[in-house]
Amino acid sequence: MTEHSGKSAGAGLNPRDIDIFEFARSGREAAGAVRLSQLPRMLNEVPAEAPDRDTAFTWQAAGFTRQELQDNGAEEPQPYLQLVVHGSAWLTCQRCLAPYEQAFNADAAFRTVQTEEEADEFPLDDDEVEVIVG
C-alpha cells in the first residue's frame, strides 16, 4: 500500500490503523492491492473448479472534505472518502452452474461520521453517498 499527501507512507502501514478523519482532513491518498485469499467471505463464493481462485483487486482511496451546512447555520468541512476498486473473481453462473469470471469496478463516495447515531440522521435514499462510521 502507498499513501501520499506530498509524503509517502511506509509499506507496512495497515489500512485498519488509519485515522480516517485525519486522512480526509489532510486530503491524503492511498493505493494498494488485496488478494482474494485475504477476503474470506468473497473467497467462499469462488467455485472450487475456478481456473484462478486467488485473483487480485487494486484499490485507490482519497480523503477530502466538503463544506456542509450544519444545524447551527454555519458551513463546516465534513470528512469524505472516495474509494475505487478494480478486479475480477470467479463465480458460479446461477443459470448453468458453470464458473465464469466477473469483473468488479466500483467507485463510491463515503461520508464518515463518528457515531451510529450520526449515521442514522442521514437520509437512506441518497444514492450518491454512503454514510459510514469511522
Q: What is the pLDDT of residues 13-52, one digit of tens each?
A: 566 788 999 999 999 999 999 999 999 999 999 999 999 9
pLDDT over 70 at 1, yes or no: no
The predicted pLDDT at position 15 comes to 67
Q: How far is C-alpha 104 from the geometric centre of its chain's CA atoms?
A: 13
Give the chain's domain count: 1
pLDDT over 50 at 11, yes or no: no
- Residue 111 belongs to domain spanning: 2-133
Nearest to residue 109, comparing CAs of 69, 134, 80?
A: 80
Helical H segments across 31-125, by residue range = 40-43, 116-120
The predicted pLDDT at position 16 comes to 75
Backbone angles phi, psi at 88, to 5 degrees: -150, 155
The predicted pLDDT at position 45 comes to 94
Cell numbers for 58, please give them: 487494486
Pick the residue with more confidence: 33 or 4?
33
Q: How far apart are CA 64 and CA 21, in angstroms?
A: 9
The predicted pLDDT at position 30 comes to 93
Q: What is the pTM of this model?
A: 0.78
Q: How far apart are CA 131 and CA 76, in angstroms?
A: 17
Helical H segments across 26-126, by residue range = 40-43, 116-120
Cβ(132)–Cβ(108) below 8 Å: no
Long-range CB pairs of 9-15 (<8 Å, 24+ gap) are: 15/61
Nearest to residue 16, comparing CAs of 37, 36, 1, 35?
A: 1
pLDDT tens digits for 76-124?
999 999 999 999 999 999 999 999 999 999 999 999 999 999 888 887 7
